[in-house]
A and B are shown apart, each in its own frame.
Chain A
Amino acid sequence: MVSALARKALRDLGRLRSQAIAIALVVASGVATLVMSQSTWRSLELTRARFYADYAFADMWAAVKRAPETLAARLAAIDGVQAVETRLVAPATLRVPGFADPVRAVVQSLPVAGAPVLDRLYLRRGRLPAPNARDEAVLSDAFADAHRYRPGDRIQAIVHGRSQWFRVVGVASSPEYVYQIRPGSAFPDFKRFAILWTSRRGLEAALDMDGAFNTVALRLRPGVPAAAVAQRVDALLARYGGIGAYARDEQLSHRYLESELRQLAVMALLFPAIFLGVSAFLLNVVLTRLVGAQRGQVAVLKAVGYTDVDVARHYLGIVALIAAGGALLGVAGGAWLGHWMAGVYRDFFRFPFLDYRVGADVVASGLGVSLGATFAGTLQAVFGAMRLPPAEAMRPPAPERYRALLAERLGLQRWFAPTTRMILRQLERHPFKALLTVVGLALGCSIMMVGRFQNDAIDYLTQVEFYVGQHYDIAVDFTEPTARAALFELGALPGVTAVEPYRAVGVRLRHRARSYRTAIEGLPANGRLRTPMDVALRPVALPPDGLLLDAYLARMLGVRVGDVVDVDVLEGRRRTLLLRVAGTVDEYLGARAYMRLDTLDRALGDGALVSGAWLGAEPARQGAVMDALERRPRVAGMGERMASLRSFLDTMAESILVFTLVTLLLGGLINFGVVYNTARIALSERSRELATMRVLGFTEREVGAVLLGELGLLVLAAVPLGFAAGALLCWGMATAMQSDLMRIPVHFTSGTYAIAALATLAAAALSAAAVYRRVARLDLLAVLKAQE
């Protein structure tokens, strides 16, 4: 049996249904973003944990120039080390028929006997190479998918300058390469980067590494501090050209995954907070109005013996129904969106499985948080109803006091028509309500800014990193530091118009207790093809002495210009240098240091060497230049500047578009909800006034203008505030998401402002139109008969 009071709640809700639906949609948006990001985040976390555990992701790795296999036993004997696996890893170039761009690859050996113990492969198709089959290889799945390679296909690789044909026997992913990105690259490029796992014996022969290894992976006993083990590993490997052991936190794939998960966590917090905040505000407005209009009913309820708590429960029940309706819709929508998003991540991260699941706890938190937020938002109105003494509730509320506007007191009244004054005084009479409306609209507008922010940021970042700061056509990496003479050879290739060398050396920078492993890039003093820049995009001249640090790196190390950092060189003579920080540069990708090439050479003390070169090439002959480069054994690989970028943008385009549309929709929902509710309430509060105007001979349009003009002003005020809020929001997101891998530039195009403004206005106009239709239906007769 439904109680009478419950019936009243249901009927009130029925009467408020269009407003209730608008609010429920905003609640739904909040819960949807919460469920989507929480469930995706958790699913990824769980999937990663399971993949790492099941496929024995190593805890530490170390690269070395050439170490005898016998060292493996000594590494295994280090206290805290549980397992050791040595490998050969080498850069390679692949040739893909019908695909003109060079494909860079990492060739990695599998153990001589049996499957790997650490970083085991997940075979999607096929099998592992037979132990002695030197021409069999397993191909990384992202690349295989991008080019449709299947077991049985053959693939040509240039390893160490020698062409070699492999038979693909399997397609796999590995916990080591969940994020399949080429070392040194900013974006993954599945078409131009591959990992090739092949037999140890074959690779030993190709690299002249019989009985030696150049990489080792280690598993540590649980709870063993990595730093202590790393020190022992480094000590053992130092004389064989070790460049420093690193743990998971410096492992490329893991770091990208980690930073991506952190971004999701930020999103999981930020978006739902905004939506639920707006819902709370909307419900507050609606419920305050409802309680105000039902003062008499509240009085009667109390007069016949309902308690204050009954009354509170009654109104909270209405709120709960709206919030729960929205939350259920949001859970469904969030699960759907999460499923889509998990699909995007599946394309990006090569997990063998990605169990997308919306956990009961996520659903519960969605429901709980939405109920909590909406209750919190409506407490004021509910307390108001509880506090109403029955007798007072029977009387109409005291009439509102208006006064002349500030502008009028200043003598500007002749500029305002009475209708304008009605609008302005209404605003001045309820400044707080107006402010909340503006804030709500601004939040909607800001969410739309966030939607385009990703797009703008990537555009700007690529502009800066690839157009402003880089002017080369082809980047060439040598297999190892090489004498400068090699540059003449490059410069002599037909079609090459410019050659500039660079030297990259692995280092660990230390300042007080902080340290960071990175590379110092030595660039020619007056280089043109690659120029580090400051925040205003001005090229920063390389100082004759000392280091240029990326500003983010400087902050990480806690150093300022003029400070001295300790530099442990991880290659060659492995010197420890003291270098002064001569300046900072602002880059969005990576956290590197720069030096003048000759200064770096002097500091390293091993002669004038280069790690590679930037080439300028005639556009028509780039292909020929690359063909020529490929045949040189010392060339580890090369890349066209733009190719990876294009491919990355293609990969991202769809998901960015969807994300933009979703945020436009969500922001639009907020704005629709805010304008619709505000207008409906204004209409009901002022219907008497507006009907009077209609009776006096004002047209629907004129009356509509008085009702909606106020909202129009608020919308106009909200747009610039929305721009500011959006910028702040994006800045907050960018700050929360920044890492040594990437800083996201906060930079908006005028198109973003235009879209956010237009979409805000459109959502407002749409809801205003919905309310405007009701102006036509104002009951002119009833309103004149009744006293307020």
Chain B
Amino acid sequence: MSTGSPELVFRARGLTKVYRMGEVEVHALRGVDLDLHGGELVVLLGPSGSGKSTLLNILGGLDVPTAGQVWYHGEDLTAAGARALTRFRRTHVGFVFQFYNLIPSLTARENVALVTDIAEAPMTPEEALALVGLGERLDHFPAQLSGGEQQRVAIARAVAKRPAVLLCDEPTGALDSPTGVRVLEVIERVNAELGTTTVVITHNADIARMAHRVLRMADGRIASSEANPTRTPARELSW
């Protein structure tokens, strides 16, 4: 997939999010406009508190903006109810979290099956785990896997339903550099092979080199949006 595919997946206009933390109002987003295209791998950079996660959560249907609108393939997510958002997540979105969030009582295979059981046209858990290079560790419980392995299971779980979008919030934040690279390789591969529109949040500027496009956020706004003229393969990254 190349940058700038004509298919518009997400379109956001004027996204504003205000939290009330006790007496204080926190402006997490201050009018964000954003277009995301099919097959794009976007890296979202920015310091903590810049609004990255809030934006990701709104795109993923986990949160709703205080003002502004988001359309997913022309469907207004801001007008959707909780039930519709659940359906949206269930059908279209794959999430990868910093702390993996695997179910400790389920094996790798079962953590993936948890999702494939409720998806419409999923791959098998075995296929998904093979995709992330864990075909050999199907029946291990999370406690028996390393951090990197757990994160790859989480990615397998996220992509097994063949989602249209993969949203990764600091996927390497809890991992050392070589392990993190392996995880990024998987994300890169999913993006390339499945054409999944992918957003990766990080505060690690090195990772930006693998993106089609890099968005920098500061103080609740998108400060810049730059296309990468040449992408660096994930395996060549290090930090």
- Residues of chain A having any CB pair with chain B under 8 Å: 399-404, 417-419, 421-422, 425-426, 429, 688-689, 692-700, 702, 780-781, 784-788
Contact = CB atoms under 8 A, between A and B. Distances in A.
A399 B104 contact: yes
A418 B122 CA distance: 15
A399 B141 CA distance: 11
Interface string B47-75: 00000010001001011000000000000
Given A421-B105, A785-B53, A785-B98, 19 more contacts: A399-B143, A401-B141, A401-B143, A403-B141, A418-B114, A421-B106, A422-B103, A422-B105, A425-B105, A692-B97, A696-B90, A697-B86, A697-B87, A697-B89, A697-B115, A698-B90, A699-B90, A781-B57, A788-B99
B169 interface: yes
Contacts of A695: 60, 62, 89, 95, 101
Contact of B90 (A400, A426, A697, A788): A697
B199 to A, nearest CB: 15
A693 B99 contact: no
The size bracket of the interface on B is 35 or more
A689 B103 contact: yes
Nearest to A691: B101
B99 A787 contact: yes
B20 to A, nearest CB: 14
Contact of B104 (A404, A689, A698): A689
A699 B83 contact: yes
Interface of B: 53, 57, 60, 62-63, 83, 86-91, 93, 95, 97-99, 101-107, 110-111, 113-115, 117-118, 139, 141-143, 157, 169, 174
Nearest to B125: A418
B117 A418 contact: yes
B110 A421 contact: yes
A422 B103 CA distance: 8
Nearest to A401: B143
A631 to B, nearest CB: 85
Given A402-B141, A422-B103, A780-B62, A696 B115 contact: yes
Contacts of A421: 105-106, 110
B94 to A, nearest CB: 9
A408 B62 CA distance: 35
Nearest to A419: B114
Contacts of A425: 105-106
A399 B100 CA distance: 14
7 contacts: A400-B105, A404-B139, A419-B114, A697-B115, A698-B118, A784-B99, A787-B99
Contact of A781 (B62, B98, B105): B62
A706 to B, nearest CB: 9
Contacts of A786: 99
Contacts of A688: 101
Contacts of B101: 688-689, 692, 695, 784
Contacts of A697: 86-91, 93, 115, 118
Contacts of A422: 103, 105-106
Contact of A692 (B88, B90, B103): B103
B93 A402 contact: no
Nearest to B141: A402
A693 B87 CA distance: 13
B86 A694 contact: yes
A692 B150 CA distance: 15
Contacts of A403: 141
A702 B63 CA distance: 20
Nearest to B97: A784
Contacts of B102: 692
Contact of A402 (B97, B98, B118, B143): B143
Nearest to A776: B82
Contacts of A698: 86, 90, 118
Nearest to B100: A692
A403 B110 CA distance: 12
Given A697-B90, A697-B93, A418 B104 contact: no
Contacts of B111: 418
A417 B117 contact: yes
B86 A429 contact: no
A531 to B, nearest CB: 63
B224 to A, nearest CB: 25
A184 B232 CA distance: 104
Query: Which residue of A418, A695, A702 has the most chain B CB atoms within 10 A of its CB atom?
Result: A418
A311 B115 CA distance: 44
A354 B51 CA distance: 75
Contacts of B169: 784
Contacts of A401: 141, 143
A401 B144 CA distance: 9
A429 B103 CA distance: 14
A668 to B, nearest CB: 31
A689 B83 CA distance: 20
A552 B55 CA distance: 81
A-B pairs with lowest CB-CB distance, top 6: A697-B90, A697-B89, A692-B101, A425-B105, A418-B114, A418-B110
Contacts of A419: 114, 117
Given A421-B110, A784-B97, A429 B118 contact: no
Query: Which residue of A399, A421, A702 has the most chain B CB atoms within 10 A of its CB atom?
Result: A421
A702 B83 CA distance: 12
B141 to A, nearest CB: 5
Nearest to A416: B110
A781 B63 contact: yes
Contacts of B107: 404
Contacts of A702: 118
A219 to B, nearest CB: 76
Nearest to B88: A697
Given A401-B143, A692-B101, A780-B62, A699 B86 contact: yes
Contacts of B114: 418-419, 693, 696
A479 B233 CA distance: 116
A692 B62 CA distance: 11
B126 to A, nearest CB: 14
B110 A400 contact: no
Contacts of A700: 86
Contacts of A689: 101, 103-104
A690 to B, nearest CB: 9
Contacts of B115: 696-697
Given A697-B115, A699-B83, A780-B62, A418 B106 contact: yes
Contacts of B117: 417-419
Contacts of B86: 694, 697-700
B105 A426 contact: yes
Contacts of B88: 697
B93 A400 contact: no
Contacts of A426: 105
Contacts of B53: 781, 785
A696 B113 CA distance: 12
Nearest to B95: A695
A470 B139 CA distance: 70
Nearest to A422: B105
Query: Which residue of B63, B88, B115, B174 has the most chain A CB atoms within 10 A of its CB atom?
Result: B115
A400 B118 contact: no
A417 B98 CA distance: 27
Query: Which residue of B83, B97, B105, B117 has the most chain A CB atoms within 10 A of its CB atom?
Result: B105
